Amino acid sequence: MGLFDRFFAKSATTVLHITSPNGFHLRPAAVFSTEAKKFAASIEAETRGQSVDAKNLNALLSLNLEKGDHFDLVCKGRNAQEALEALTAVFEKLMQEDKAVEQIDKTAQRYEGEALEGEIIGQGIAIAPLWQYSERHYKVESDTDFHAALESVNTALAAEYEANKTQPESAIFLAQRSLLETLSQKAQTLEAFEAAVNDATATLEGGAMAAKITDYRDLLGRVKSAMGYKTEVAWPATPFVLLADDLLPSQVEQLPQTLEGVVLQKSSLTSHTAILLRAAGIPSLIVRDTVDTTGKPVILDGFASVLVVNPTPHDLETAKRLLTQSQNQKEAQHARRFDTATTTSGTEIKVLANVTDPASARAAKEAGAEGIGLLRTEFLFQERRPSLQEQTEAYKAIFSLFDEITVRTLDVGGDKALPYIDLPKEPNPFLGIRGVRLFESHPDLIAEQLKAIFTAAAGKPLKVMFPMVDSVETFTKAKAFAKAVAAKENLDISAVAFGMMVEVPSVLFLLPEFNEVVDFYSIGTNDLNQYLYAIERTHPTLSLDPRSEALFRAIEKVASEAKKPVSICGELAGDGEATARLIEAGITTLSVSPGLVAQTKERIRHV
């Protein structure tokens, strides 16, 4: 078929088969519907006598398609054939990439008391009384209207994606954003939105996609919470094992410190709640039998996949021994967190931390970080523009914790927007005003930030890093701007070093020139990878290999040609599968999230 015929084809049809073991669930369906919206054609999914709009995520999920099912993809009108070909390719890729939830092998059961069989969500041992989940609902005064609440939830989901973007569970937040958009298209009030949620969940009850009902309820709960509808849970003050029908994905991060384990009765291993529990390392099971909460201790064995509801003294001793063994392994790693990380060949690798605020800086200190390799200053600027005093005090609190600190100047634009900064609407904001380009578009904002940074440092050695540098001229202008601020405010910056993020590919070809003007380099692997492949890292259908060959070769090029210190602060620094190759490339400084410091050090010791 020629280009003319493909463009103006009136109708095109094919059959798509569900081969993913997880079915056509929220995450792949969200990608598929987003891709379908790009075409002017009418796009329908037909199966079992039903025909739904494939651009409507909610409608797609209502088909409850599981492995072995199929549907007719029918494209009509303008671009029909082009749409069919593109969507078929996207669908096949989604089916190939959507892997089954890895079944965790059970260890042998070793208990005398009554034990209920379950399915393992997260491994581990918990010994504590069961506590049945209960909640109280109430309303508080709020000035947030429905549309502002939608925007607030959308922004929060984007932030959660950003915070978890290197982890598999990050796709959950993108899928929920797509679902939120679909549900809110025709809803102008909270009542209409809630009705849409109820209608949607009714179609999923008892079907293959029933596990995704929690995502609908989660979005409704988030919107209502933003409007002042609150849910209160009186968590026990002493250790407990939580028993609940299910939890909402957003509730996982709200679980208290006294929680020892979780038992769900109406969830599934593929639910987003289960994925997040697993990612959080919480011992958890799905147990469908009736469970009596007597207040007596139970044993949740996430290795043997059993809930021992009436343990004998011998059972309790066995579980305590297993718990001790598990804790000892973690504690051995934790105990060495302050030790230097040296490879088997004797190369010392410095492990720093990426932090976002004073709390995460304190966590990094406790985790054994040797300094801060990346201070993301955006935390101060999220909701409103902070005052000079607020900025200065926050920086002082962080600077007091470490001797080595690298501060990145404000990096917004692209996928990171601020409500009070008037950035122009751009066709592709990732290629527009962001990072160091704010020095020209919003000089007052940057000048105030630099003044706060220099004031807080008070002559202490400090590294200031500019993001999104694309040329030597851009760097020298930014450095001159910073020096002018210091001179105007009469601030001593003799101990301040100025460096740059390596994330724009043009830098790779200008390293000899950059060596003459910069004091240090820090490779931002996330953005560098997206620009190397011209794939937006938040794109709903295109995906990036976080360990792409081009990225590694770019890192090797920087490490070999740079005449100034080089570190990596991108997510690749904490990727266990990349550690050995980064060290082989000559990287001797890695900056990772606080939670990965001890683990990264231990891994280095075996390279």
Question: Which amino acid, 315?
Answer: D
Residues 438 and 408 sit within 8 Å (Cβ to Cβ): no
DSSP 51: E
Token couple for 94: 């989604």
Distances, alpha carbon 587 to alpha carbons 60, 308, 354, 604, in Å: 47, 49, 17, 12
| Integer Cα distance of 358 and 605 in angstroms | 29
CA dist., res. 202 & res. 221, Å (int) = 17
Give the span between the Cα atoms of 444 and 423, in whole angstroms: 14
In what helix (H) or strand (E) does residue 598 lie, and over which residues does it extend? helix 597-604
Query: 488: burial class by Cβ within 10 Å (0-12, 13-18, 19+)?
Result: exposed
Q: What is the dihedral of CA 77, 79, 84, 85, to 10 degrees?
A: 160
Cα–Cα distances (Å) from 414 to 433, 501, 522, 536, in that order, read 8, 16, 20, 9
What are the catalytic residues?
272, 569
- Cα separation, 53 vs 60, in Å, equals 7
User: How many C-alpha atoms does 64 have within 13 Å on its Cβ side?
Assistant: 15
Residues comprising the chain, all counted: 607
| Amino acid code (one letter) for 21 | P
Residue 191 class from Cβ within 10 Å (0-12 exposed, 13-18 middle, 19+ buried)? exposed
- C-beta of residue 110 within 8 angstroms of C-beta of residue 225: no
Residue type, 474: T
| Residues 211, 273: Cα–Cα separation, whole Å | 9
